[in-house]
Every structure is written in structure tokens, then in C-alpha cells.
Amino acid sequence: MASLGRPLRFTRRMRCYIFGFCINVFLVCNILVHQTWTKWNSALVEKPDSWSRTAGKGSAQKTQGDNEYRVLVSRFRKLMENAVESSNFSSSENDESLELISNAENGTLRFKNRSSEQLFNCQDIENITDKHYIGSGWTKAVYSGVISSKKVAMKTVDIGGQDVTNCVKWGQTLAECYYRAAQKIVKEIVLLQELEHQNLVKVLGYCIPEEQYNGDDVTLVSLITELGDTIDLIKLLPMSWEERLRISYDLTSLIHFFAHSPHGPVVMNDFRHQQFVLVNGMLKLTDVDDTGIGDPHCSTQADCNLHFSPSEFHAKIPCQNGHCVGLNEKKNIFNAGRHFIIFRLPYGAPPSLHPILYDVVSGFTNLTMNADRLLEQMQKAVHLYKTGHYLNRTEPVKTEYKEYLESDLPGKYDYRCRASISGTSCTFTVFDQKEAEDICERDPECFGFVMTQETTWTGRKIVHLKNNMSIPVRNAGTNLYMRPS
């Protein structure tokens, strides 16, 4: 029996050796793959058509960053001083900020500040207080702060970001790399003021320092905008349908504006939730450095074939007069549909609005509507919701609820319910008293409701349902309605 046991002990030991050997091989392979990927990925992201081609060309280029920065400053200041009403962008789907800035020197790009408000300048930005880091991307870092008692957002170059870090790895000086990254912020300053729209974040100030960046905050190229709340799936999911309707409407309005920009159709090449913020509930595009202006050039019809992955959706865009006419518009529509509209617009909507909303969703996802038609349909849906026509009432409104004017039950008899816009009470928005009564009638726990004077963006009033009644207290801003027994 002992001789039989030895092979078994030997077999277990061998298994342990083999298992340990496999683990070590796996770890070594992972290290090698990671090192290879890092080198390969760095080569890929370096934009060899712009930055990498200048790497390693000799010490004569070490002053290029200084010269380019001085040119940037002089061109931009000339641009800001040139208050000419007409302007003409010359850019393509993949336009670069250097091309946009050079247009200023050539006189083909001019704009003026259309706002009557005084813009914050470098001195104001130096005095920013309560500065807090919000987030960063490939090139820029974003901070919140306070200037002259006003909460603002500040964008500046992220020195530790991928753009600058990879540029330095390719042999450029920090000043040269900073200059190239700063071009994107300058492009945003220009575009956000020239393409002025309610769904584009508002420019409140900027700073293009005379002195080249040297690590000091006073040499930072900065853009100051209104401060908004960032958007992600976690914030979008619990939103009420009315809030989601507003986001969908705002986005459609922006796409319509981009389709009819006086400078040519604008395309959002980087279409993600992170590119937008909510300012007092209104959706606004905040990151525009990856936008392009003007439909792409084409020589054959094949140049205009549009393919969206991973959905495998294809669209054929006509090649007319050397341009893919409508490609930018179609690209914006499809991306808006898959990132925002399809999952947020139809669900929770009043049943009578479903036909319009499903047509809108189809228009976005199947490109069966252009921007004009989509905005028209969205405006129709919003109008029906605002005016209460979606209720489809055919009989005169009657009520048996007892009304207590200027009365309230603050802090009493609140309860949670489905579809509430509040996590702590049963709260809804209604067109009128009758709609509030209908909601209360469908809820067996409801004894009545308090109607406030607070209104939403559609003008609807906010009501709080109550699961019991008692002697109310006086409140000039609310009315109490008791359900008949």
C-alpha cells in the first residue's frame, strides 16, 4: 500500500509544480504584453501627422515653442480686436485648432463678443477663489471656482494629461507641448463665442497670458464658462420623464442649430455624456474642441458612405459639388439617438404622446428625419405637454375635492410612491388641479394633496400627495385639497 501511495504523492507535487509554472508564465506574459501595449499605444495616440513628425529634428527647434506661443498670442489678440460682423470658417471634419487660429491672421475668421456682459480677464482669473478640481480628459483639466461672487468653471491645460505627457515623450519641450495643447482651449474660446446658442455653454472670460507657460498659474491659458452639473448614466436614470424630455428637446435644438450654422454644418466628432453639462436644468455642450465645421470633401459617392459601429448601421450621403452634403447633420442625429434619445425619451411618457415620440426615436435611430423635422416634432410634443392637450379631455372639468386656500401640511403625511420626482415624498408635476385629482384617485393611499406655486420648465405645477389629513397651517404659497370620502 505504501508503494502505491508514493506515485499519488508524486503526482500531487507535480501538479503543484505545473500549476506554479503556469502562473509564472502567465504573469511574465502579462508584463511583456503590457510593456508592448504601452509602447504601441503611445505610438498610436501621438498624432504622427502633427506632433511626432517634429520630434528629433535637432536643437534648432527648441525655440519653436517660444515663437509659436508668441504668434498664438498676437493672432488671438488681433482676432479679439477685430469686431467685424461677418465671419467665415474654413475647416473640415477633422479640422485642427492651428488651422482655425491661422485663419484669424489671414482675415478669414473674425468674431466679436456679442454679450453685453464684461468678460473676466487674466487679472480676474488670477484672483479666483474656492478652486476645486472637477475632472480631466485627454488634454484639459476642469475646475470650479468663484470670481466676483459668481460660481464658474475654469478649463486649462492638464500638464499631467495624455496630450502633454505623450508629446514630451516624443522629444518636444514642455513649452512646445503646452502650446499645442493650449490651441484646443483657444479653439474653444473662438467657437463658443462665434457659435452662440442657448445650448452651448456660455463664455464668461478667458486668459491668454503674454508670458509663455513656465509652471506658474499666472501663465496658464484659461477659459472661464458658466458652471454646470456633469452628466452620466447614474444621474440620468432616476430623472423624471419631464426632465428627460427637456434634455431631448435641448439636444434636438442644438443639432438643428449645428445643421444651419452660418459657418457651415457643425459636427460633434466626440459625442459622449461627458461633453455636456446641465445648467439650471438646461442641457449645454461644454466641450467643442473636437467639433468640425463644414461637410467633408468627396470625389466619389463612396467617400460619403457613413458607417456607425458597433451598431453596423450604414447610410449613403450624396456627394455634391465636392462635399458629402448632410453628413455632419446625419452623424449628429444618429449619435444623439443612440447616446441620449432612444433610452430616455419614450419611457414614462404619457400614453397619448407615444405616437409622436416613437416617430422621433425612429427619426434619430434610422435617420428617417432631418434636423428640421425632428425639431418640429419635438416642439409639437413639448407644446402638447405644456398646454395639457395630451390629456385628451372631452368633458367639462368637475371637482368634488374640498379646497383650503393658502393652507399646507408641512412635514406631515408625506409618503413614497412610484413615479415620484422626489425620493422622500409622493411628488408630481401637473397641468392643473384636475390632473392632480386624477393622480390621487388612482392611488388608494392618497387622502389629498398640496398644490404649490412652484413650476417646472414647462410651466407645470408641483404637487405633494398626502396619506392623511389634519388641521392645516397657513401658507400663502400653497393650497390644500382633500379627497372626498
Find all residues with CB under 8 Å of 366, minimum gap 6, and list them: none
Cβ contacts of 311-315, under 8 Å, gap ≥ 24: 311/338, 315/367
Residue 209 CA to residue 218 CA, distance in Å, equals: 7
Q: From the centroid of its chain, how far is CA 234?
A: 14
Query: Distance of CA 97 to CAs 36, 66, 87, 196, 426, Å?
Result: 32, 18, 16, 18, 50
SS3 for 403? strand
Annotated active-site residue in 66, 124, 270, 359: 270
For the question of residue 270 being annotated catalytic, the response is yes
Residue at 248: amino acid letter: S
SS3 for 123? helix
Query: Assign residue 379 a region: left if phi > 0, alpha if psi is -120 to 50, beta otherwise?
Result: alpha
- Retrieve residue 319's grid coordinates: 456627394
Rg (CA), the chain: 29
Find all residues with CB under 8 Å of 204, minimum gap 6, and list them: 117, 119, 120, 147, 150, 152, 224, 225, 226
Q: Is 192 exposed, middle or buried (0-12, 13-18, 19+ CB in 10 A)?
A: buried
Sign (positive or negative) of CA dihedral 425, 430, 433, 435: negative
Residues serving a catalytic function are: 270
